[in-house]
Amino acid sequence: MPDLRRTRIKFCGLTRAEDLAQACALGVDAIGFVFAGRSKRRVSPQAAAALRHTLQPFVDTVALFMDNDADTVRDSIATVRPTWLQFHGGEEDAFCAGFGLPYLKAIAMGGNADIDAASLERDYPRAAGFLFDSNASGQAGGSGHTFDWSRVPSDCPRPYLLAGGLHPDNVFEAIRATGCWGVDVSSGIESAPGVKNHERMRRFVAEVRRADGIL
C-alpha cells in the first residue's frame, strides 16, 4: 500500500488579510496569531478576530502566547475563538490545560539541555502535541535559526511540529531527516516581520509536498 501520510503545515505570525488568503489558497492546515508581548508579529485580539473571519473552511486557528497572564489568554480566546493554543514560555501543564482548549507546548532546543520523551510526558501530560523550536529557554521564537534536528526525541510521546529557521530551501531536508508530523514557519516565508512573501509561501508548500512524495 502507498504511504498516504502528509506533513501538516502551519504558517505563523499572520498579520495581513492578503497573506492569510494566500495561506488558505495554498492549502495550509493552520495559521497562527501571535499574542506574545515581545514579538514583532504581535497582533491585537481584535485584529486577529477580523482576520479569522476571512478563513476558509478546515483551516485551524492557533493562538500563540508566551508567559501571558491568564486574563490575557482568556480575553484573547473569547475574542478570537481559536481552535488551538500554543505556549512558548515557562507555562506549566496546569496553566496550559486550564482554558478548555487543546494545547501545543513549544520546547526550546537552543540550549544544551537534553530533551527526552520521559520528561516531556512528565512535565506536559495533557499536551496534545509539541513544537520543537530553535530558541533558547526564555527567548522568543521567530529567530530564523535552526537547531540540531537529531536532538528531537525519536520516541516523542505526542505528534510534534518542527520549527526554527525553516524556509523553502531546507524544509525538504528537515522533513526527511526527522519524519515530523508537521512544520511551523514564520520568518522563513517573510519579506519583513509580519509581512509574508507569497512566492516564498508557495515554494515552502511545494517543498513540503515534494518531501511527502506528492510532487
pLDDT above 70 (res 2): no
Share of the chain above pLDDT 90, in %: 84
Say if 186 falls within a structural domain.
yes
Question: What are the residue ranges of helices labelled H in 103-187?
Answer: 117-123, 171-178
Catalytic residue positions? 12, 133
Greater confidence (197 vs 144) lies with 197
Average pLDDT over residues 20-41: 97
Helix axes 17-25, 198-211, angle to 10 degrees: 30
Residue-level pLDDT at 114: 78
Residue 3 lies in a domain: no
Q: How many domains does the chain have?
A: 1
SS3 83: coil
What is the band of 203 on the pLDDT scale with cuts at 50, 70, 90? very high
Instruction: Give the pTM.
Output: 0.93
pLDDT at 1: 58
Give the CATH number, domain containing residue 134. 3.20.20.70
Is residue 154 situated within a structural domain? yes
- The residue written with cell numbers 505563523 in the block is 12
Mean pLDDT of the chain: 93
Give the number of other CB atoms < 10 A from CB of residue 161: 25
pLDDT at residue 110, as a whole number: 79
Tell whether the model's pLDDT for residue 139 goes beyond 90: no
pLDDT tens digits, 148-190 = 899 999 899 999 999 999 999 999 999 999 999 999 999 999 9
| Percentage above 70 pLDDT, the chain | 92
Residues spanned by the domain of 88: 8-211
Residue 124 lies in a domain: yes
- With a cut of 60, say whether residue 83 has pLDDT above it: yes
Binned at pLDDT 50, 70 and 90, residue 214 comes out as confident
Return d(Cα 52, Cα 80) in angstroms, integer: 7
Contacts of 206 (CB under 8 A, 6+ apart): 168, 215
Span 84-125, pLDDT tens digits: 999 999 999 999 999 999 999 999 987 766 789 999 999 999
Is residue 175 in some structural domain?
yes
Say whether pLDDT at 141 is over 60: no
Give the whole-angstrom CA distance, residue 64 versus residue 72.
Answer: 12
In a domain, 13, yes or no: yes
Within 8 A by CB and 6+ apart from 50, the residues are none
Assigned domain for 1 exists: no
The answer to whether 51 and 84 are in contact (CB under 8 A) is: no
5: pLDDT confidence band, cut at 50, 70 and 90?
confident
Helices (H), 53-197: 70-80, 93-96, 117-123, 171-178
